[in-house]
Amino acid sequence: MTSSAVYDRQPALANVNYPVVGCIPLPQSDKQLCNYGHNGRTGRAVRRRPHHHPSASCDTAFAQLGMALGATNLTTEAQAFGFNQHIPLDLPGVGVSNFPTIAQLTDNAPSQAYSAFGQQDVTATALQMALVADGIANGGVIMTPHVMSQIRDSQGNLVETTPRSLVDGHQLDYRHRRQLTHAGRRDLGHRRRGLPAAWKVAAKTGTAETGPNATLTNDWMIAFAPADNPKVAVAVVVPNQPGSDTGAKVSGPPAKTILGDALAETP
């Protein structure tokens, strides 16, 4: 979503390079913000080349990008994807995913930094993150999720069909969708994840800490495929995993199974 906010709301930031560092000092704070393992995995949150695309995960780069985007751009983009609002699913008890409000982020550089890569007060359901994958795959158009597709009577006659309506979303420029899709394919590394290259999966993995000083993580993968003509979007989260594990390691295998089954059943 942070990369999408660049393309949607402040495209000049796509030309900015960030230094390759494991930690950065936080403005308005005496603390440092560090990557996982304190490594400098990449120096650019959005990288300009013949095909522009966001880089692989780098907390320090995305933190700087979030501070450059600022409160309004970060929160407005998150809410365009469905955060801070009820998702109209045809089941009761759907949780609301949280992203800090503009007021909470205004003049608060540390919160902007952490929120830009999903930490601090950001919370998300698996459904919400599936909609994020859906939004990128579908060029910014997010379809309303549903459990029931249609109802038929005992003779097989169609009684009712669920309409394909839209969640209140936003339209991504085709070039921007392509850039984000290319980033998802680059970040995934099909050989390392054990996914067949023929599936053309675009994905993002994540390892979410469960609280201050927590030793357990919630391990994520969101994905869609085929990248050049998306048919399926998924989100997998495996909660309360050892802190030494990662989203790719833990959520990658079930995501592979789900994608394989879904693609086999989707014409």
Residue 190 has pLDDT above 80, yes or no: no
Average pLDDT over residues 176-205: 70
Confidence of residue 58 (pLDDT cuts 50, 70, 90): confident
Average pLDDT over residues 2-27: 88
Residue identified by tokens 């959005």 is 46
Does a structural domain hold residue 244? no
Residue 162 has pLDDT above 90, yes or no: no
Does a structural domain hold residue 213? no
Indicate the pairing of strand 53-54 with strand 32-34: unpaired
Looking at the chain, the whole-number percentage of residues with pLDDT higher than 90 is 46
Measure the CA–CA gap between 267 and 259, rounded to whole angstroms: 13
Does a structural domain hold residue 266? no
- The number of distinct structural domains making up the chain is 1
Looking at the chain, the whole-number percentage of residues with pLDDT higher than 70 is 80
- Cis peptide bond prior to 110, omega within 30° of 0: no
* Predicted local confidence at residue 164, as pLDDT: 76
Q: Is 161 helix (H, G, I), strand (E, B) or coil?
A: strand
Stretch among 61-75, 92-106, 111-125, 186-200 having the lowest mean pLDDT:
186-200
Residue identified by tokens 């290259």 is 197
Does a structural domain hold residue 69? yes
CATH number at residue 88: 3.40.710.10
pLDDT tens readout for residues 68-114: 999 999 999 999 899 999 988 888 889 999 999 999 999 999 999 99
* Predicted local confidence at residue 54, as pLDDT: 43
Sign of CA dihedral 221, 225, 230, 231: negative
Tally helices (H) and strands (E) across the chain.
Answer: 8, 9
Q: What's the mean pLDDT when you consider all of the chain? A: 83
Measure the CA–CA gap between 1 and 115, rounded to whole angstroms: 11
* Predicted local confidence at residue 90, as pLDDT: 87
Angle between helix 174-188 and 126-137 (nearest 10): 120
Confidence of residue 187 (pLDDT cuts 50, 70, 90): low
Measure the CA–CA gap between 251 and 261, rounded to whole angstroms: 16
Residue 194 has pLDDT above 90, yes or no: no
* 217 and 198 Cβ atoms separated by less than 8 Å: no
Kindly state the DSSP code that residue 34 receives in the 8-state scheme: E
Q: Using the CB atoms, write b or e for 68-91: b if 16+ within 10 Å.
A: bbbbebbbbbbbbbbbeeebeeee
Question: What is the DSSP annotation of 201-250?
Answer: -EEEEEEEE-STT-SEEEEEEEEEESTTS--EEEEEEEEEEETT--HHHH
* Predicted local confidence at residue 72, as pLDDT: 97
Does a structural domain hold residue 204? no
Residue 176 has pLDDT above 70, yes or no: no
Does a structural domain hold residue 247? no
What's the token pair of residue 124? 């998300």
Amino acid at 59: D
Does a structural domain hold residue 82? yes
What's the token pair of residue 157? 């006659």
Nearest C-alpha neighbor of 5 from the set 93, 90, 69: 69
pLDDT tens readout for residues 252-263: 999 999 999 999
Stretch among 5-14, 167-176, 203-212, 251-260 having the lowest mean pLDDT:
167-176
* 16 and 46 Cβ atoms separated by less than 8 Å: yes
Of the ranges 14-28, 195-209, 222-236, which is most confident?
Answer: 222-236
Biggest CA–CA distance in the chain, Å, is: 70
* CA distances in angstroms from 55 to 25, 152, 223, 243, 259, listed in the order given: 21, 47, 16, 24, 24
The phi, psi pair for 28, rounded to 5°, reads: 60, 25
Sign of CA dihedral 77, 16, 26, 32: positive
Does a structural domain hold residue 232? no
Q: What is the domain range of residue 44?
A: 2-188
